[in-house]
Structure 1
Amino acid sequence: MRILETIGFDLGHGETAVAKAIVESIEPPQMLEINNKKNQITALGWHPKLGYLVGEQALIQAGVTQLSISFKQKPNHDPNYKKTISTFLATYYQKLQESKQIEGEESSYFYIGCPSGWSMSDRQAYQKLLQEVGIPHLNVIPESRAAFMQAKEAGKLEYEKLLASVLIVDIGSSTTDFTLVKSLHEIPLDFGSNTLGASLIDKAIFARTLDKHEQKPLLEKVFQEYPHHQARCELACRKAKEDYFSNEQLYNDPQSFARGFESINEQIYFIPQVNKLMMEEILHQPLPELGNKSWIQAFHDAVSEAKTKLQQLETIPKLVLMTGGASRMKFTHQICQQMFPEPESQLRPDPEPERCIALGLARVGRWDLRAAAFQQEVNQLLDSQKLTELISRHIPELVELLTQPLAENLIDHAVRPGVKDWQKNKIRTLADLETSMKNRAEEWLKGNVAQQIINNQCIRWFNNKIQPDLAAVTDPICRKFQIPRSSLRFEDSIEPAFVNPELRIGDAILADTVAFIVNVVIGGGTVASIITLILTGHLTWPIALVYGASVMAAGMELNRKTVQETIKKNIDIPSWIRSSLMNDQKIADMCVQIKPELENVFREQLTNNQAAFEQLTQKVEQGLQKALSMKVQEAVILIQ
């Protein structure tokens, strides 16, 4: 059974969200619901009759005897951790299947996020742990990649920024991760132990509330005996924090408070509350988890360290993309803006950070599958004989395109000036004329002008003959994956900024082609054949008739060959006869007459050299394969 959908599973330390993307569609992913909500508190509860409950249901259901919250962390050997996180995922998976929101089994591919700061071994251990749940297809990828993909596909990143440098700041409940995306490649900025998460603020509010509670000793005893009550109270602190940062202006007044609420029993209540003054104290108090730095100082130092690492890489991010639920805290925007000021860097907080990663994970999964299928289709084309057949079919047309300009230019640059020099007595014998014309022809063929002419004709051949046939086999691939046809064509680039000099047909293929043509014309005897044609057909016999055979070869048996050789090697014709025999008009007439003959020589020489043209076909094919492979690498960015 083939994979029909990708499931983006954002198992966060504080909240969990799930999204689904259809593999064969480019429609945006859709958020899925558990307990009729698109975002759930990351909570797992045990009820003696109802079994395992997740999210809000675990918090509000009466009779829950065990409750775990905020349990996402690096893989470790703690059996309770392993059981909690695998049970949470298994319960979520079961509920998604029961509600018919996912196909499940072999048809669904789960993409689960992890902090970018986790090492590859951490990621692999986490994936191995989650695979024990029994989900057939599951992959763990960095959450920063999901954030980048969501920003790209949701239209928040312009194409020029995709190829520039983007710094992703992911502020989660347990960690804050910095990832540089440069030319589409991710570079995690690893600062070692990363414990800078927003849940530390929740804990500080909890400690402050407990410390000032009039029944503190009793509460401490309750929390020790019934840990799920402490978990509920910590969630109340989190809600107070989120309420505060969502409506900061409301709580500037010392008499206004953002509150949470948790009832232990009918007599004991836990009511955390914060306003601006209290939150300032909390954000600036030293925290042992951060080496006795305050949260705000630790975040400032982390952003500063990220900037230093970027400077070491000689990189200024064009865009600072902020994501993670805690990125709603406005002071984090201000610190990032101070460190990366405009206009060099633009700050882009995600408008829906609580959904960004889930949507991005679903997009990444779909992109991975579609990009792999796209590359496979192009590779099948490259591995087939289609390119060879396509090029071979049009080789005769390349010969035709080359014969006329080569003949015309050899007449202008070798034949005409050579004969004129002979006419003016600058060249003694026709043998010397032969040497002169050969040298002139070779010099011209090796020069820039000749190579440019050949280059232009080859480009014309490629554009008019090869490209249309090539497009006929690449366009269906582009249509299938819903990307522009120009993605695998050579006449247009995907975007002006995407033009890669190596993809230019003149650079990628024609350099070898030009060198090949020059070599065939010179080394294959074409020049020698042309000169023989001129000497025998247009000069030798007229000279013999005018000059007299008896003078040239007394006592010799007259035949065409001996007369030609004698005239070529021995006769230094006086200048007055030369100007009469071959005046300017006769030279011009001769050049007109020999043009079709020269074209035939070129045509025959090039056409008959099949072995050489097989080499040319191979070179053009190799060039096309290389250019198409590079096109594919740049075209995959357009796949959704």
Structure 2
Amino acid sequence: MEILETIGFDLGHGETAVAKAIVESIDPPQMLEINNKKNQITALGWHPKLGYLVGEQALIQAGVTQLTISFKQKPNNDPKYRETISTFVATYYRLLKESKQLEGGEGSYFYVGCPSGWSVSDRTEYQKLLQEAGIPQLNVVPESRAAFMQAKEAGKLEYDKLVASVLIVDIGSSTTDFTLVKSLEEIPIDFGSNTLGASLIDKAIFARTLANHEQKALLEKVFKEYSHHQARCELACRKAKEDYFSNEQLYSDPESFARGFESINEQIYFIPQVNKLMMEEILNQPLPELGHQSWVRSFTDSLTEAKEKLEKLGIVPKLLLMTGGASRMKFTHLLCQEMFPEPETLLRPDPEPERCIALGLARVGRWDLRAAAFKEEVNKLFTSNKLKDLIKRHIPELIESLTKPLTDGLIVNAVKLALKDWQKNKIRTLADLETSLISRAEQWLKSECAVQIINHQCAYWFSNKIQPDLAAQTDPICRKFQIPRSSLRFQDSIDPNFVNPELRIGDAILAETVGFIVNVVIGGGTVASIITLILTGHLTWPIALVYGASVMAAGMELNRKSVQEVIKTNVDVPSWVRSSFLSDKKIEEMCEQIKPELEKVLQEQLTADQEAFDKLISKVEQGLQKTLSTKVQSCIILIQ
């Protein structure tokens, strides 16, 4: 069955959220609801009559006898942990299907997030565990990737930042993850044991409230016997924390408090409360979970370590993305900005961190599917022989464009110079002239000047002949995936906001073409044909008219070819005769006379070697495929 939708499942330690993206659309993903809410406390409850309940319903439903909260962690073999995760996911999946918010089955592909610090084996094991919940198609990806994709598709990242270095700081309930995204590749910054999560603040508020409670001993007994009461009280502490950080200015007054509330029974209440003074004490008190460091000190140390690791790599991130529900804590923004100051690094906190990962996961899923389909379309072009046919069709035009400038160059840089040397008696015989012509022609063809001429003509040929036909093949692919047509075009004027402008035809393609032309001209008899034109048509026989009588008088029975060879090898025309016999004007006239003949010879030589041209076509095709593949990798991030 065709995959119709990608589901971003953000199963967080503190909260869970789900979003859906339609694969064949570029519309933003939509948040899905459980219990009429887009975000749910990560809670699983058991009710004797109603069965398993999740989120708020598990917390407020009377008669719930078992309650588990904040249970996300690395996969392990603890049967209770595995059952809790599997049951929670299965219940969520069932409720989403029952409410008709997703297709279900093979039409829905789930993307579930995990901390970027988890290893590949952790992800694989987690995926197996989640699939036990009965979701047929499921993939586990780093939450940092989701945060990056959400920022990119929400229009917060320009192309230069997309391909540069972005540091993602994900402050979650159980961990704080640092991930470097460089050239679209994720590199987790590993800190070993990572327990720096915002739930530690909830626990500190809980411990403080319990320690100061007038019925502390009774509460401890209740919590020991009825763990679901403790879970609810811990959530009340979390709500007090969230209220405080949402309205910090309000609670700077010592008489104002952010409060949570939980009723144990009609006589016992648990009411956590915090204000600015109390929160500063909590944030700066030593915590055993952090090696007896405070939350602020641990976060600062993590930022410092991240910066040091990036400096060793020679990297200053252009952008620092903050996500995770706890990134709403303003003091974390200040510490990040202090460690990575502007303008070198721009700070971008996500405005909806509680939904960012779910939306980003749905986008990641859709992007994966559409990117794979995009690559497949380009690969079809590679395997269809269309590129080879396109190049082959325009080869005659390349040859035609090369003959005139090469002829002009050979005449100026080889023919004229060799003739003038003969005229000035620097060359003795016509055989020596032949050797000089060959040497000068080959030397010039290998020179930077000749290479530039061929290079220029090839580039012009590619831009004006190959590129328009190639665009006719690639433009429909770009339209299909709604990315700029310039993404797969070879143009100097490509907008750098969309693709890398340096990816044009590619030096490799031109180098192959230039090398081929030089080898054909030198090795294919072209130079020899030039010599024949000059010697037989313009020098040998005029000399024979002068020296013919003495040659015949010597009793040499010679045919036409023999006469040429004798004259070429033996006759040394006196220097006083040469300047009149071959004046500067005569050299100019001779060069003009042989130019059309030389152009014809060049064209014939370049066309004659079909095997060599087939090889050239193949090399140009391979170079084109390689460069197109590079462009695909460069522009694939533009797919939505």
- Tell me the residue number matched to 1:476: 476
Matched, 1:291 2:291: yes
- Tell me the residue number matched to 1:180: 180
| Cα displacement (A) at 1:500 | 7.2
| Amino-acid identity (%) | 79
- Tell me the residue number matched to 1:526: 526
The residue identity in structure 2 corresponding to 1:549 is: G
- Tell me the residue number matched to 1:458: 458
- Tell me the residue number matched to 2:552: 553
CA deviation string 1:221-274 (max 9, x = no partner): 222222111111111111110000000010111111101111122222111111
Q: Larger deviation: 12-21 or 465-474?
A: 465-474
CA deviation string 1:480-530 (max 9, x = no partner): 1111111111114462795375x4435121112111111111111110111
- Tell me the residue number matched to 2:434: 434
- Tell me the residue number matched to 1:158: 158
- Tell me the residue number matched to 1:594: 594
CA deviation string 1:273-296 (max 9, x = no partner): 111111111112221111111111
- Tell me the residue number matched to 2:374: 374
The residue identity in structure 2 corresponding to 1:484 is: P
RMSD across aligned C-alpha pairs, in angstroms?
1.6
- Tell me the residue number matched to 1:580: 580
- Tell me the residue number matched to 1:606: 606
Which structure 2 residue ranges, 5 or more long, are not aligned? none
The residue identity in structure 1 corresponding to 2:500 is: V
Is contact 2:413–2:444 with CA below 8 Å preserved after alignment? yes
Is contact 1:300–1:335 with CA below 8 Å preserved after alignment? yes
Is contact 2:248–2:276 with CA below 8 Å preserved after alignment? yes
Is contact 1:459–1:506 with CA below 8 Å preserved after alignment? no
- Tell me the residue number matched to 1:254: 254
Within-5 A mapping of 1:292-307: 292-307=292-307
Is contact 1:397–1:461 with CA below 8 Å preserved after alignment? yes
| Cα displacement (A) at 1:40 | 0.9
Is contact 2:487–2:498 with CA below 8 Å preserved after alignment? no
The residue identity in structure 2 corresponding to 1:71 is: F
Q: Larger deviation: 579-588 or 365-374?
A: 579-588
- Tell me the residue number matched to 2:281: 281
Which structure 1 residue ranges, 5 or more long, are not aligned? none
**C-alpha separation in 1, matches of 2:22 and 2:214:** 55
**C-alpha separation in 1, matches of 2:309 and 2:575:** 81
Is contact 1:6–1:111 with CA below 8 Å preserved after alignment? yes
**C-alpha separation in 2, matches of 1:407 and 1:580:** 27
TM-score (norm 1): 0.97
**C-alpha separation in 2, matches of 1:442 and 1:212:** 96
**DSSP-derived class of the 2:533 partner:** helix
**C-alpha separation in 1, matches of 2:551 and 2:446:** 37
The residue identity in structure 1 corresponding to 2:548 is: A
- Tell me the residue number matched to 2:496: 495
**C-alpha separation in 2, matches of 1:282 and 1:213:** 17
- Tell me the residue number matched to 1:340: 340
The residue identity in structure 2 corresponding to 1:82 is: R
**C-alpha separation in 1, matches of 2:559 and 2:331:** 104
- Tell me the residue number matched to 2:354: 354
Is contact 1:553–1:563 with CA below 8 Å preserved after alignment? no
**DSSP-derived class of the 1:179 partner:** strand
Is contact 2:498–2:635 with CA below 8 Å preserved after alignment? no
Number of residue pairs matched by the alignment: 638
The residue identity in structure 2 corresponding to 1:390 is: L
**DSSP-derived class of the 1:17 partner:** strand
- Tell me the residue number matched to 2:314: 314
**C-alpha separation in 2, matches of 1:366 and 1:409:** 56
- Tell me the residue number matched to 1:407: 407
Within-5 A mapping of 1:108-127: 108-127=108-127
Matched, 1:86 2:86: yes
TM-score (norm 2): 0.97
Is contact 2:165–2:317 with CA below 8 Å preserved after alignment? yes
Q: Larger deviation: 189-198 or 583-592?
A: 583-592
**C-alpha separation in 1, matches of 2:504 and 2:432:** 43
| Cα displacement (A) at 1:311 | 2.0
Is contact 2:158–2:497 with CA below 8 Å preserved after alignment? no
**DSSP-derived class of the 2:535 partner:** helix
**C-alpha separation in 2, matches of 1:342 and 1:396:** 57
**DSSP-derived class of the 2:8 partner:** strand
**DSSP-derived class of the 1:605 partner:** helix
**C-alpha separation in 2, matches of 1:567 and 1:610:** 37
**C-alpha separation in 2, matches of 1:308 and 1:559:** 87
**C-alpha separation in 2, matches of 1:228 and 1:129:** 25
